[in-house]
C-alpha cells in the first residue's frame, strides 16, 4: 500500500543527508541579531523588532502565498518540526531546500496528489524550514521528514469522521445513500458496512436501487443472503426512487435501524444518472450521502466526487482498493480537495476489509 509514494519520499529524505554535511553549524551568539532578511513569522518578537528598512526585492508567487499564510499560523500551536528547528544550530539554506522541494513536488504529482494539495504541502514544508536552524542532535533528514509529515498532517486534518459516534446520535431509521461509478467497489463497500452494522447489533435493510442492471440487483441479493440481512428490490428498470421509498417504509414499519441504498453508476457525466441521483436523494432524504471512489483512479476519483457533490451534496467518502494502490494520491488529497472526510477505506475483498480512516493512520502508512 502506497509503496511507490513511500519510496519516493524516502529517497528525498535520504538526499537531505547529503546536504546536511555541507551545512555549517552556527551557535545562537554567532548570528547577527539585526538581519532583516532573517525575519520569519515564528521568530521571537525581540529579534523581529528592527527599524531598518529592508531592500526592495521582487516578490515571487511562492513568497506571496507564504506571507498570506504567516498571519494565520502565528497563533497556531507548535508543530513537531517547530520543536526541532529554532534560532540556533545549522542553518537551512534556500537553494538546497528549494532543490529538495522541487523533487518533493514531482514525487507528489507523480503519485497523483492533486495539484493544490501538492502546493499546500510544499509551502508548508518551506514555511517550516526556510532560514531556520536545527539542533546538532538532529540530522537534516530527520528535520525534513518531520516537516513533510507536519505538512501532510495539516492537509489530512479534514479527515475526522467517527461513524459509530455519528450513528449513535441519529434517529432510526438512519438512511445512508451510496453513490459512485460502476466498478469502484460500491456494492462491496455496502456489504462491508452492512456487516459492520450487524456486528454493532444494528438491524439493516438493503435497497437495491441500481435497477439499471439486473446483475447489480443479483449481486446485492447475494450479499444480503450471506450476511442474513433484509433486501428490498424490484425488477430491472423499476423506478429506483420507488425502491428506496419502499425500503424506508419497510424499515419504519419493522423498526429497523439502518437503510443502505445502492444506486446505479453509469459514467458520472451521464445526465440521466445525475437526475436519477437527485430524485432518489429528494425522495429518500438520506441522513448521510457517501461517495464511493476507487483509490486507483487517482485524480479521476476526485473529479467524480466533485460531480456527485455538486449534484446531491455528499457528506463523506469511502475510498476502495487502497490495498492495491501504490501511489496514495487520492487517499492523500481527495478529502482536502472536496472538503469532505474519508469515513472508511477498503483494503481488500473480504467483508472485514473496511477500516476507519484518520490522519494518523495515513501518516503511519506513509512514514513508518
Ligand atoms: P461496483 O460496480 O462499484 O458495485 O463494484 P463492486 O463492488 O462490484 O466491485 C468491483 C470489483 O472490485 C469486485 O471484483 C470487487 O471484489 C473488487 N473490490 C471491491 N473493493 C475492493 C478492495 O477494497 N480491494 C480490492 N482489491 N478489490 C476490491
Q: What domains are defined for the chain? A: 3-159 (1.20.120.140), 163-367 (3.40.50.300)
- Ligand 1 pocket, residue 193 CB under 6 Å: no
- Percent of the chain residues past pLDDT 70, beyond the cut: 80
The residue among 337 and 23 whose pLDDT is bigger is 337
- Ligand 1 pocket, residue 347 CB under 6 Å: yes
The answer on pLDDT for 41 being more than 60 is no
- Ligand 1 pocket, residue 294 CB under 6 Å: no
Distance 43 CA to ligand 1 centre (A): 51
**Gyration radius from the chain CA atoms:** 25
The answer on pLDDT for 115 being more than 80 is yes
Ligand 1 atom closest to 347 (CA): 23
- Ligand 1 pocket, residue 182 CB under 6 Å: yes
pLDDT, average across residues 317-328:
92
How, if at all, do strands 133-134 and 85-86 pair? antiparallel
| pLDDT, position 51 | 43
pLDDT, average across residues 310-338:
91
The residue among 46 and 30 whose pLDDT is bigger is 30
Predicted model pTM:
0.82
| pLDDT, position 140 | 81
Distance 349 CA to ligand 1 centre (A): 7
The residue among 139 and 268 whose pLDDT is bigger is 139
Residue nearest to atom 9 of ligand 1 (CA): 185
| pLDDT, position 30 | 45
pLDDT, average across residues 211-233:
94
- Any idea what DSSP says for residue 84? H
Between the alpha carbon of residue 82 and those of residues 117, 127, 135, 150, 297, the distances in Å are 21, 10, 11, 9, 35
The answer on pLDDT for 53 being more than 50 is no
| pLDDT, position 256 | 97
Q: Which of 182, 188, 260, 266 to mutate to test the pocket of ligand 1 (most atoms within 8 A of CB)?
A: 188
Answer for the pair 120, 151: CB distance below 8 angstroms, yes or no.
Answer: yes
Residue nearest to atom 6 of ligand 1 (CA): 185
Q: How far apart are CA 268 and CA 307, in angstroms?
A: 7
Distance 175 CA to ligand 1 centre (A): 22
The mean predicted confidence, pLDDT, of the chain is: 83
Non-local (6+) Cβ contacts of 227 within 8 A are 191, 194, 195, 198, 204, 351
Side by side, which strands form the sheet with 230-232?
A: 230-232, 204-208, 258-262, 174-179, 288-294, 316-320, 342-346, 354-356
The answer on pLDDT for 246 being more than 90 is yes
- Ligand 1 pocket, residue 265 CB under 6 Å: yes
Output the CA angle 169-170-175, nearest 5 degrees: 150
* Listed residue (300, 296, 289) closest to 343, CA to CA: 289
- Where are the strands (E) in 204-268, listed by range? 204-208, 230-232, 258-262
Residue nearest to atom 20 of ligand 1 (CA): 185
Ligand 1 atom closest to 353 (CA): 23
- Ligand 1 pocket, residue 350 CB under 6 Å: no
- Ligand 1 pocket, residue 188 CB under 6 Å: yes
Amino acid at each position: 500500500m502506497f509503496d511507490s509514494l513511500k519510496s519516493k519520499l524516502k529517497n528525498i529524505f535520504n538526499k537531505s543527508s547529503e546536504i546536511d554535511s555541507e551545512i555549517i553549524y552556527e551557535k545562537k551568539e554567532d548570528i547577527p541579531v539585526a538581519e532583516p532578511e532573517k525575519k520569519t513569522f515564528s521568530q521571537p518578537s525581540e529579534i523581529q523588532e528592527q527599524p531598518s528598512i529592508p531592500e526592495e526585492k521582487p516578490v515571487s508567487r511562492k513568497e506571496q502565498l507564504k506571507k498570506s499564510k504567516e498571519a494565520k499560523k502565528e497563533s497556531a500551536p507548535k508543530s513537531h518540526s517547530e520543536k526541532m528547528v529554532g534560532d540556533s544550530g545549522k542553518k537551512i539554506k534556500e537553494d538546497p531546500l528549494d532543490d529538495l522541494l522541487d523533487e518533493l513536488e514531482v514525487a507528489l504529482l507523480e503519485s497523483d496528489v492533486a495539484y493544490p494539495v501538492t502546493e499546500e504541502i510544499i509551502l508548508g514544508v518551506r514555511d517550516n524550514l526556510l532560514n531556520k536552524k536545527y539542533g546538532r542532535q538532529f540530522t537534516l533528514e530527520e528535520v525534513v521528514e518531520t516537516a513533510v509529515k507536519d505538512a501532510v498532517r495539516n492537509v489530512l486534518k479534514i479527515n475526522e469522521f467517527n461513524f459509530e459516534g455519528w450513528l449513535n446520535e441519529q434517529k432510526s431509521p438512519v438512511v445512508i445513500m451510496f453513490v459512485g461509478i460502476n466498478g469502484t467497489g460500491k456494492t462491496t463497500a455496502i456489504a462491508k458496512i452492512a456487516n459492520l452494522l450487524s456486528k454493532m447489533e444494528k438491524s439493516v435493510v438493503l435497497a437495491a436501487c441500481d435497477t439499471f442492471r439486473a446483475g447489480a440487483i443479483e449481486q446485492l441479493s447475494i450479499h444480503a443472503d450471506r450476511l442474513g440481512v433484509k433486501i428490498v428490490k424490484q425488477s430491472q428498470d423499476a423506478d429506483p426512487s420507488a425502491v428506496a421509498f419502499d425500503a424506508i417504509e419497510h424499515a419504519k414499519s419493522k423498526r429497523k435501524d439502518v437503510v443502505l441504498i445502492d444506486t446505479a453508476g453509469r459514467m458520472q457525466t451521464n445526465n440521466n444518472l445525475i437526475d436519477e441521483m437527485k430524485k432518489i436523494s429528494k425522495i429518500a432524504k438520506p441522513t448521510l450521502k457517501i461517495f464511493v471512489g476507487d483509490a486507483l483512479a487517482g485524480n479521476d476519483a476526485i473529479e467524480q466526487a466533485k460531480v456527485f457533490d455538486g449534484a446531491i451534496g455528499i457528506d463523506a467518502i469511502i475510498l476502495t482498493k487502497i490495498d492495491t494502490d501504490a501511489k496514495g494520491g487520492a487517499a492523500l488529497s481527495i478529502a482536502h480537495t472536496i472538503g469532505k472526510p474519508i469515513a472508511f477505506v477498503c483494503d481488500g475483498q473480504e467483508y472485514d476489509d473496511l477500516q476507519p480512516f484518520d490522519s494518523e493512520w495515513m501518516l503511519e502508512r506513509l512514514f513508518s
